[in-house]
Amino acid sequence: MSDKTIGIRVTRFRPEQEDAPTEQVYEVPYQEDWVVLDALNYIKDHIDGTLSYRWSCRMGVCGSCGMMVNGEPKLTCAAFLKDYYPNELVVQPLAHFPIIRDLVVDIDDFMDKLKAVQPWIIREEEKPVAEGEYLQSPAELKEFKQFSQCINCLLCYAACPVYGLEDVFVGPAALALSYRYNLDSRDEGYAQRTVVAASSEGIWECTFIGECSVVCPKDVDPAAAIQRTKVETTTNWFKSFLMPWGNK
């Protein structure tokens, strides 16, 4: 190990001993190929075993190590120390969520919203298994594939100023997933999802700031999904007004 070190300023919150979050600075060996998560693991293993944070895959797939790094929502497994060295690094829990302990936030609000948009294939009538799969062409897959890359890491919620102001907002990831299933050629759940997605708490809360798409580590582009849903909903609204005999 090199002799160089880097300071990591971490948010601490231990509800049994303090009323409000505080900070603690740890001096960690600096390795050029280390990410912030490696530094946190070093602290946990060698300096202070009481530090709490979420992580699992350490390769940008599980979406559990999202934190604020120098004020920006990042997957800590993809944020390299070398991009911050030699300056001290500030690691905080994801913004806009209640803190449970240290860097661990309460994501129940998101889980409820995710469930509300029913991000799974809805069929009016399931065909019997004997009739085989629901086939889909590569072109039909391409329609929604980008929006299906979401790993629920919640960086978009931490980046969204609207969600920070209005916690009723359904939010970027849930709306992008709603759009993803609406685009799926096998799906018939548009009407059920629209009740949530096109409600006042859904797409209409969004003012197209676009930070969700900037911070997304999987290039999902939730801002585009929301804008397209707005255009679609508006087109349907004018259609229903001009052609009331139509279906939508």
Partner 1 sequence: MSYKQDKTEPFWWGLFSAGGVVAAMLIPVLIYFVGLAEPLGLVGAEVSGYEAMSKLLSHPLVKVVFFVVAVLPLYHAAHRIRFMLHEFGVRKLILPIHYFCYGGAIVGTGLAAYILFYLF
Residues that bind partner 1 (CB under 8 A): 112, 116, 161-162, 165, 168, 195-196, 198-202, 204, 207, 230-231, 233-234, 236-238
Shortest distance, CB of residue 213 to partner 1, whole angstroms? 18
8 A C-beta contact, residue 10 and residue 24: yes
Nearer to partner 1, 6 or 196 (CB): 196
Nearer to partner 1, 2 or 200 (CB): 200
Count CB-CB contacts under 10 A for residue 93.
26
Q: In 3-state terms, what secondary structure has residue 248?
A: coil
Shortest distance, CB of residue 113 to partner 1, whole angstroms? 8
Tokens of 87: 């300056």
* Calpha distance 9→21 (Å, rounded): 13
Nearer to partner 1, 94 or 116 (CB): 116
Count CB-CB contacts under 10 A for residue 45.
9
Name the strand (E) or helix (H) holding 41: helix 36-42
Shortest distance, CB of residue 65 to partner 1, whole angstroms? 28
Nearer to partner 1, 146 or 233 (CB): 233
Q: Backbone phi, then psi, for 80, in 5-degree steps?
A: -85, 140
Shortest distance, CB of residue 64 to partner 1, whole angstroms? 25
Nearer to partner 1, 202 or 217 (CB): 202
Nearest to 155 by CA among 82, 105, 206: 105
Name the strand (E) or helix (H) holding 109: helix 108-116
Shortest distance, CB of residue 237 to partner 1, whole angstroms? 4
Name the strand (E) or helix (H) holding 67: strand 66-69
Nearer to partner 1, 137 or 200 (CB): 200
Shortest distance, CB of residue 119 to partner 1, whole angstroms? 16
Measured CA angle at 54 (ends 53, 59), to 5 deg: 125
